[in-house]
């Protein structure tokens, strides 16, 4: 999806399981992250979210990250936040979600792989 | 009223925005502009933007499609926001998001207060210059 006026852009790749998000994440855009992660999970059991280019995030964005993790857990898939911008990292610390969302894979490593 | 629909009377800036998440960014941009008028530093401006974003997000959920009113008040070394929405129907509150928003507000606001009266939900929020940081830097 191309960037909008806020610079929001999301690129999901089912080839490598990467979902790259850029720009401002709020109630107007957060659902697109969950949709993109769900799209990747349709074909892979591993998804990595790159939030290093996110310039703003609010509670709607954090809620979307929680939903992404839950979606991965529901499919016994691995969900990882690969990198964060300082803005996102601060919010994760404020809300105590850093350990939950950055704490590592949501399932055992031997559960990884592509759906058979 | 200027060309952007922002009314400036004395030291109050009023802004009415449609009940559409796409206008969250407008509220944040207005907050940043107002904060710069009182000389907030970049970190303070960022906290003000984050706080206003959380306030508006919560009122959007509560307002069930009703227009929001934001009144920014310039105060000594800071900005106060009084924002409200009329309530005339069922609201869809995402409680987990709201709890996260409250945690964020606790950190970025000097003070904040929520009131729910008959027919109206309102949030008051204040953010001032981070005087502790200024002392540390001196």
What tens digit of pLDDT does each residue of A17-56 get? 999 999 999 999 999 999 999 999 999 999 999 999 999 9
Q: What is the ipTM of this complex?
A: 0.85
Partner-chain residue, chosen from A6, A26, A62, that has the shortest CB–CB distance to B100 = A62
* Interface contact B50, partner A, CB < 8 A: yes
What tens digit of pLDDT does each residue of B15-64 get? 999 989 999 999 999 999 999 988 899 999 999 999 999 999 999 999 98
Q: Is the pLDDT of residue A79 over 60?
A: yes
Question: Quick one: pLDDT at residue B65?
Answer: 87
Q: How far apart are CA B126 and CA B135, in angstroms?
A: 20
Q: Is the pLDDT of residue B1 over 70?
A: no
Q: Residue B91 — pLDDT band, cuts 50, 70, 90? A: confident
Q: How far apart are CA B79 and CA B70, in angstroms?
A: 12
Average pLDDT estimate for B74-100: 90
Q: Is the pLDDT of residue B112 over 50?
A: yes
Between helix A59-74 and helix B95-108 the angle, nearest 10°, is 140
Cβ–Cβ of A96/B22 closer than 8 Å? no
CB interface of A with B, residues 68-87, below 8 Å: 87
Q: Residue A2 — pLDDT band, cuts 50, 70, 90? A: low
Q: Which of B17, B20, B24 to mutate to test the interface with A (most CBs of A within 10 A)?
A: B24
Cβ–Cβ of A95/B96 closer than 8 Å? no
Paired tokens of B99: 């709890």
Cβ–Cβ of A62/B97 closer than 8 Å? yes
Q: Is the pLDDT of residue A7 over 80?
A: yes
HEC-encoded secondary structure of chain B: CCCCCCEEECCEEEEEECCCHHHHHHHHHHHHHHHHHCCCCHHHHHHHHHHHHHHHHHHHHHHCCCCEEEEEEEECCEEEEEEEEECCCCCCCCHHHHHHHHHHHHHHCCEEEEEEECCEEEEEEEEECCHHHHHHHC
Question: Quick one: pLDDT at residue A65?
Answer: 97
Question: Quick one: pLDDT at residue B88?
Answer: 85
Average pLDDT estimate for A89-99: 93
Domain range list for chain B: 7-137
* φ and ψ at residue B68, rounded to 5 degrees: -100, 145
Query: Closest Cα to residue B68, out of B33, B26, B36, B32?
Result: B26
Question: Quick one: pLDDT at residue A1?
Answer: 55
- Nearest residue in chain A measured CA to CA from B26: A6
Class of domain A9-95: alpha beta
* Interface contact A95, partner B, CB < 8 A: yes
Cβ–Cβ of A6/B98 closer than 8 Å? no
**Interface contacts A/B by beta carbons within 8 Å:** 54
Q: Residue B4 — pLDDT band, cuts 50, 70, 90? A: very low
Say which residue, A113 or A42, is predicted with more confidence: A42
Paired tokens of A45: 């059991």
Class of domain B7-137: alpha beta
Instruction: Find chain A residues with C-beta within 8 A of B103's C-beta.
Output: 94-96
Cβ–Cβ of B28/A56 closer than 8 Å? yes
Question: Quick one: pLDDT at residue B11?
Answer: 82
């Amino acid at each position: 999806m191309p960037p909008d006026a806020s610079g929001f852009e999301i690129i999901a790749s089912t080839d490598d399981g990467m979902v790259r998000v850029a720009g401002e994440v709020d109630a107007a855009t957060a659902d697109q992250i969950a949709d993109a992660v769900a799209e990747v999970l349709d074909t892979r059991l591993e998804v990595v979210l790159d939030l290093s280019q996110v310039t703003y995030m609010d509670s709607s964005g954090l809620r979307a990250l929680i939903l992404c993790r839950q979606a991965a857990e529901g499919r016994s898939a691995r969900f990882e936040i690969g990198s964060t911008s300082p803005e996102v990292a601060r919010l994760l610390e404020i809300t105590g979600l850093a350990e939950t969302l950055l704490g590592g894979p949501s399932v055992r490593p031997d559960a990884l792989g592509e759906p058979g | 009223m200027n060309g952007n629909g922002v009314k400036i009377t004395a030291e109050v800036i009023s802004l009415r925005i449609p009940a559409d998440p796409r206008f969250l960014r407008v509220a944040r941009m207005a907050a940043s502009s107002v904060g710069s008028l009182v000389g907030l530093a970049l970190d303070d401006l960022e906290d003000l933007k984050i706080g206003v974003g959380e306030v508006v997000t919560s009122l959007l959920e509560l307002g069930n499609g009703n227009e929001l009113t934001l009144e920014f008040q310039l105060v000594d070394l800071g900005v106060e926001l009084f924002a409200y929405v009329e309530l005339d129907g069922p609201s869809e509150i995402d409680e987990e998001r709201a709890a996260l928003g409250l945690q964020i507000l606790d950190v970025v606001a000097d003070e904040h207060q929520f009131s729910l009266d008959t027919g109206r939900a309102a949030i008051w929020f204040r953010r001032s210059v981070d005087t502790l940081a200024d002392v540390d830097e001196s």
